[in-house]
Amino acid sequence: MIATLLVFYSLLTVVYSDKMANKERTFIMVKPDGVQRGLVGKIIERFEQKGFRLVALKFTWASKELLEKHYADLAGRPFFPGLVNYMNSGPVVPMVWEGLNVVKTGRQMLGATNPADSLPGTIRGDFCIQVGRNIIHGSDAVESANKEIALWFDEKELIPWTPASNDWIYE
Ligand code: IDP
Ligand code: MG
């Protein structure tokens, strides 16, 4: 009896932790050039067709103050002022996507920072040419993802849900 309970409990734990792993979140943002070039739909489509869940999305013209916070780690770099001007030059589409390993997979889907090095098949590899116009942002780690999500979204803007396709994406 106790053995049965133990097996049941460990199964539950495995299933539960599996489901929790599927709740990893990343912050993805279509940059002003991506918006101006009409690539928002194509970028969203890539994440949807992969099987990730959209949890939040908005259309906004970010202030320099917000962008300076977002890119605070790069504040000392020579391209920083140009980067902030570029990001502030038009509206952007910040989003939160959720799923198993979404941070790492999201970065792979974006491709290398410099589109000259991004492989074909990646978003940057397929849609842009220069590092200063690389159309999309994606968090580089779970910790930075959580920071960026909190910077761009209020908790109430994050909508947890279970898509009808969920059991056909995760075993
Ligand atoms: P990431 O966007 O792939 O995470 P980071 O090194 O975090 O790359 O740089 C943030 C952004 O700063 C890049 O996406 C790009 O827009 C811009 N950037 C990075 N390096 C350069 C550069 O050498 N010249 C101009 N812009 C740059
Ligand atoms: Mg980065």
Q: What is the pLDDT of residues 136-151, one digit of tens each?
A: 999 999 999 999 999 9
Domains of the chain: 23-160 (3.30.70.141)
- Helix runs in the chain, H state only: 2-21, 32-36, 40-50, 64-70, 80-87, 102-110, 123-127, 142-152, 166-169
Query: How do residues 50-61 score in pLDDT, each as one tens digit?
Result: 999 999 999 999
User: What's the pLDDT at 92?
Assistant: 99
8 A C-beta contact, residue 136 and residue 43: yes
Q: Which protein residues are within 6 Å of ligand 1, measured from CB?
A: 74, 79, 83, 113, 131-132, 134, 137, 140
Model pTM score: 0.92
